[in-house]
Amino acid sequence: MTVLTRPDLDAPLSTVMREGSQAEHAAAEGSSFMAELLAGRVNEAGYAAYLLRLRQVYVAIEETVHAHAHDPAVAAVLDTDLERLAAIDADLEHWAPGGARTVDSAAATAYADRVRAGAAWAPLLVAHHYTRYLGDLSGGQAIGRILSRAFDLEAGAGTAFYAFPAIPKPKPYKDAYRARLDALDLTVEEKQRVVDEVRVAFDLNQALFRELGADLASYRR
Ligand code: HEM
């Protein structure tokens, strides 16, 4: 059963986005692939399979937001300090040296296609931007530390994805990001469209985990 959270649409946009996607956030957190990853039970091939899917998603996000950099909604969040593609490539070199940089993944393709479709109305791109980057700056930070411990990695090795060298303090950065979201001039109906897209983005992340979870037997350490 889907739990429908009904945010108060008169609240600031960032509040609507967070509160309106709590059920989907909890569901994504509860994915078995994520649980196994955080327990240190996913092997190198499994983590590389995850990164390859993320790569496809971040290529779509980073290309599309750059193509719409001048739209006021995109301009409010666009920041090259957030970009993850180079970090993903560096991490792939650690987990799968010399390996492929593309993957045949229905879940990643569906996610990337949905991101690109957001170009039809820029606030939809903002929904995707928020879901990935604010997540990376939040729970993602703990994931990096856990991975490092589980694999006994040297400082930073293979976990560039979780490091934001130009953003030493995530909390004030996230507060400023939310303030810029809140300054966007959106109607109640438009806020509803944005939060609906955030929910879709969470579901697409969960679908990624589901796809990886189906292969957990071969990704077990
Ligand atoms: C086990 C997995 C996860 C854990 C443990 C986790 C944990 C957290 C925590 C603790 C926060 C709050 C941080 C704060 O108050 O500043 C947070 C926020 C967030 N997470 Fe996650 N998360 C997980 C998975 C995900 C996934 C898969 C996504 C989507 C790609 C995501 C997206 C977000 C977003 C967008 C926020 C910011 C909410 C806001 O303040 O507006 N998280 N997460």
Residue-wise pLDDT for 35-64, tens only, equals 999 888 999 999 999 999 999 999 999 999
Name the residue among 67, 69, 12, 16 with its Cα closest to residue 185.
12
DSSP 109: H
The average pLDDT across 5-16 equals 89
Classified as helix, coil or strand, 220 is strand
The per-residue pLDDT of the chain, averaged, comes to 94
What pLDDT, in 10s, does the model give residues 87-96? 999 999 999 9
Q: Which of 9-13, 50-54, 153-157, 178-182 has the lowest mean pLDDT?
A: 153-157
28 lines ligand 1 (CB under 6 A): yes
The confidence score (pLDDT) of residue 6 equals: 72
Task: Classify 91 as helix, strand or coil.
Answer: helix
Q: What are the residue ranges of helices labelled H in 31-105?
A: 32-38, 44-67, 72-77, 85-95
Residue 3: what pLDDT?
52
Ligand 1 centroid to residue 131 C-alpha, Å:
8
Q: Whose CA is nearest to atom 14 of ligand 1?
A: 138
Find the mean pLDDT for residues 16-35. Answer: 95
User: Which amino acid appears at position 90 of this protein?
Assistant: A
- Per-residue pLDDT, averaged over 153-170, amounts to 93
CATH fold for domain 14-216 = Heme Oxygenase; Chain A (1.20.910)
CA angle (149 as vertex; 143, 151 as ends), nearest 5: 100
Give the pLDDT band (50/70/90) at residue 142: confident
Contact 111, 207 (CB under 8 A): yes
Number of neighbours of residue 93 by Cβ within 10 angstroms: 14
* Residue 89 CB–ligand 1 contact under 6 Å: no
Which of 16, 25, 203 should be mutated for ligand 1, with most atoms under 8 A from CB? 25
Nearest atom within ligand 1 for CA of residue 138: 13
Q: What is the pLDDT of residue 5?
A: 58
Residues 144, 198, 64, 73, Cα dihedral to 10°? -110
Nearby residues of 157 by Cβ (< 8 Å), 6 or more positions away:
94
- Residue boundaries of the structural domains of the chain: 14-216
Residue 6 or residue 76, greater confidence: 76
Mean pLDDT of 79-83: 98
Provide, rounded to the nearest whole percent, the portion of the chain with pLDDT above 70: 98
User: What's the distance, Cα to Cα, between the start and end of the chain in Å?
Assistant: 33
Better pLDDT: 142 or 26: 26
Task: Give the pLDDT band (50/70/90) at residue 1.
Answer: very low
Residue 99 backbone phi and psi in degrees, to 5: -80, 180
pLDDT number for residue 150: 87
Residue 136, Cα to own-chain centre: how many angstroms?
6
